[in-house]
A and B are shown apart, each in its own frame.
Chain A
Amino acid sequence: EAGVTQSPTHLIKTRGQQVTLRCSPISGHTSVYWYQQALGLGLQFLLWYDEGEERNRGNFPPRFSGRQFPNYSSELNVNALELEDSALYLCASTSVGGAPTGELFFGEGSRLTVL
């Protein structure tokens, strides 16, 4: 069974540009989380989608946005890129399925460098 897949794995952008990162959850998982991890720092919660709806977002400006599609895959969009947006962006999925203790399964991330 395929795990969580993210694309692209690496990308370089310049300040002011826009980027779209993609995430495919594990088959059967309906919930997707996005995290940002700047170099040497911990994971910062960005967004949480479940059943196609945004359920919560972290303390990030509105230029960070996303969506979840009917097949439960997800996109993270970042507009007007700034140098400090350089980070590893991690996607994770989980299965609700009535169980309250769904563990998160993470992808390997998309490493964004903003020049």
Chain B
Amino acid sequence: DAKTTQPPSMDCAEGRAANLPCNHSTISGNEYVYWYRQIHSQGPQYIIHGLKNNETNEMASLIITEDRKSSTLILPHATLRDTAVYYCIVRENYGQNFVFGPGTRLSVLP
């Protein structure tokens, strides 16, 4: 079973920041938070991951709360091409499976 909970769907206006929340209240100290997204019928795409500190790359920012029980993925300027299902996953290391929950369906509206 997935160790995360996410809202089933969200809307965001084009050009605005999209903030996608994820709850992982049972996360252990060694588990990382990963975010992937899946655009319709394509293979999922890696976005970002982090352990404790906030992370930023060319695609997004990841904000992890101090108690690590929740996180937020931020797409700073959403475009129509960001419409996808976004998955939040926790995993300790390569020795564990990636378990995908149902994710959040983000719709970026013009």
Contacts and interface: CB of A to CB of B under 8 A. Distances in A.
Interface residues of B, number: 22
Contacts of A55: 95
Interface residues of A, number: 31
Contacts of A106: 43-45
Contacts of B93: 100-101
A42 B45 contact: no
9 contacts: A41-B102, A45-B97, A90-B43, A90-B44, A100-B32, A101-B93, A103-B49, A106-B44, A109-B43
Nearest to B101: A42
Contacts of A41: 102
Contacts of A100: 32, 92-94
Contacts of A4: 43
Contacts of A99: 94
Contacts of B41: 88, 109, 111
Interface string A85-98: 00010101010100
Nearest to A55: B95
B43 A42 contact: no
Nearest to B97: A45
B97 A107 contact: no
A35 B94 contact: no
A33 interface: yes
Nearest to A6: B43
A107 B100 contact: no
A35 B100 CA distance: 10
